[in-house]
């Protein structure tokens, strides 16, 4: 089991992950933007690190800053929550490249399943039941 996890998200999902980690005796690291400095999740976490201005592109979506904090804090793993970087294969790969466990699917799975049309095709080929619908993009 991990001793310390960084939560690469904010708000309600960060609170939920932090509380689950506390129940398991796992230390938590929160990252926050300027807008979230006084948010509940920053005070619940064992450690909190500022990662940038309010714009998500300069904070919560900044892969390099988040990896840097994970390394600085000694986090063994990163939980992406949902949204933000959770479906970004480059983030999962960056974690792997830096010896940090990405708590989620492998980068290749995110890449393949991120395109819903390709995902549906792969599932059909594997014999997984899928709902009927269009097999291609809708232009209108």
Instruction: Please give the Cα distance from 115 to 92 (Å, whole number).
Output: 17
Instruction: Please give the Cα distance from 110 to 101 (Å, whole number).
Output: 15
What global pTM score does this model have? 0.88
Return the pLDDT at 44. 99
Give the number of other CB atoms < 10 A from CB of residue 22.
Answer: 14
- For the chain, percent of residues with pLDDT exceeding 90: 83
Q: How confident is the model at residue 107 (pLDDT cuts 50, 70, 90)?
A: very high
Q: Is the dihedral of CA 127, 111, 79, 10 positive or negative?
A: negative
pLDDT in tens, 61-99: 999 999 999 999 999 999 999 999 999 999 999 999 999
For the chain, the domains span 4-104
Question: In CATH, what class is 4-104?
Answer: alpha beta
Q: Specify the residue for token string 């009927």.
A: 132
Q: Specify the residue for token string 């990662």.
A: 51
């Amino acid at each position: 089991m991990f001793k310390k996890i960084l939560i690469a998200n904010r708000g309600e999902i960060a609170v939920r992950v932090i509380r689950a980690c506390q129940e398991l005796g796992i230390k938590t690291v929160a990252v926050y933007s300027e807008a979230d400095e006084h948010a509940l999740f920053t005070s619940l976490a064992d450690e909190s690190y500022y990662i940038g201005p309010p714009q998500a592109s300069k904070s919560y979506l900044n892969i390099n800053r988040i990896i840097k904090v994970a390394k600085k804090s000694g986090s063994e793993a990163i939980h992406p929550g949902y949204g933000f970087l959770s479906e970004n294969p480059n983030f999962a790969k960056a974690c792997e490249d830096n010896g940090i466990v990405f708590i989620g699917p492998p980068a290749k799975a995110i890449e393949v399943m991120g395109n819903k049309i390709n995902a549906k095709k792969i599932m059909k080929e594997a014999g997984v039941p899928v709902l009927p619908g269009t097999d291609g993009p809708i232009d209108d």
